[in-house]
Amino acid sequence: MDRYAVFGNPVSHSLSPTIHARFAELMGERLVYEKVLAPVDGFAASVRAFFEAGGRGCNVTLPFKVDAFEFAATRSERATLAGAANFLAARDAGVHADNTDGAGLVTDLESNVGVPVEGARVLMLGAGGAARGVIAPLLARKPARLVIANRTAAKALDLARHFATLGVVEGVALAAIPEARYDLVINATSTSTRGEALELPAHALARDALAYDMAYGPAANAFVARARAAGARACDGLGMLVEQAAESYALWRGARPPTAPVLAELRARAS
Ligand code: ATR
């Protein structure tokens, strides 16, 4: 049977094996998808052993997305723009890296949540790895404006410069978010997963906006509750997780699994 896995540290919490097992059932395919806890300083050895033993592909989560990108022999354009990979696949020319996170976010926003990115005024909170991984696919959808706001302004400015040729993008400090209406506010900081406070000017979360936390489950509760209190619609990133998994599955297997039933099952399980 074809073998797949998710590499991370920690990885015990990962929903990816559950998601891929359901995709395989729905597609009538048989495969194995495991969790691999790689040592923090031993990703390359661990993933090399996996591919040498015949592994077909893996997803990669924190803290190894940059290591995965560097490990690969070939890289997609979107992985190169992100400087990070959450996807590796065995190919004839060696291990190929891709990044399906941004596609997962855009598909979740547009197909599941029902918020078109085209023409939207988008505020991205955070300028770390999570933000960087999704900016190019967001800009490819042609938002009217993308403001990247970060606690450390210099990192937001750097990211905006890095992606300047791809669309209308600017970088600012969190405390200096331009007073404007945003249709979509994406929390890509690590505050949710770390349980830390996120200081934001009140105008960042307005009535009628959609507030989206890239974290999922209880980690996203504080941001979601705060956005709702401000009159915004809000959701967590569970749909992004499922959609990036579907994009990965399609790249490995050549056919895209249905995501709606899997997302509904995970939501039902969580409630
Ligand atoms: P990840 O891979 O999850 O993006 P990262 O690359 O370490 O992790 O980036 C974390 C992001 O969350 C950064 O944008 C960080 O802001 P700084 O660049 O100023 O560090 C942001 N972040 C982390 N803790 C934060 C906090 N308490 N308030 C606001 N932003 C925070």
pLDDT in tens, 213-264: 999 999 999 999 999 999 999 999 999 999 999 999 999 999 999 999 999 9
Long-range contacts of the stretch 52-56 (C-beta < 8 A, 24+): 53/3, 54/3, 55/3, 55/4, 55/5, 55/90, 56/2, 56/3, 56/4, 56/31, 56/89, 56/90, 56/252
pLDDT grade for 179, boundaries at 50, 70 and 90: very high
Nearest to 156 by CA among 168, 167, 169: 169
- Other beta carbons within 10 angstroms of residue 261's beta carbon come to 12
Q: What is the pLDDT of residues 31-85, one digit of tens each?
A: 999 999 999 999 999 999 999 999 999 999 999 999 999 999 999 999 999 999 9
Q: Give the chain's mean pLDDT.
A: 97
Tell me the CA–centroid distance for residue 254 and ligand 1, in Å: 35
What pLDDT score was predicted for residue 206? 85
Torsion sign (Cα): 244, 259, 218, 39: negative
Residue 271 has pLDDT above 90, yes or no: no
For 63, 68, 89, 168, 170, the CA distances from 59, given in Å and listed in that order, are 12, 9, 9, 31, 31
DSSP string covering 19-81, please? HHHHHHHHHT--EEEEEEE--TT-HHHHHHHHHHTT--EEEE-TT-HHHHHHH-SEE-HHHHH
Q: What is the pLDDT of residues 113-164, one digit of tens each?
A: 999 999 999 999 999 999 999 999 999 999 999 999 999 999 999 999 999 9
Tell me the CA–centroid distance for residue 211 and ligand 1, in Å: 18
Mutate-to-test residue for ligand 1 from 189, 214, 240, highest number of ligand atoms within 8 A of CB: 189
What pLDDT score was predicted for residue 270? 83
Q: Quick check: 159 and 135 in contact, CB under 8 A?
A: yes
| Across 173-184, average pLDDT | 96
- Candidate list 35, 65, 142, 155, residue with the active-site label: 65
Tell me the CA–centroid distance for residue 198 and ligand 1, in Å: 10
What pLDDT score was predicted for residue 139? 98
Told to judge if 155 belongs to the known catalytic residues of this protein, a careful annotator would answer no
Percent with pLDDT over 90 in the chain: 98
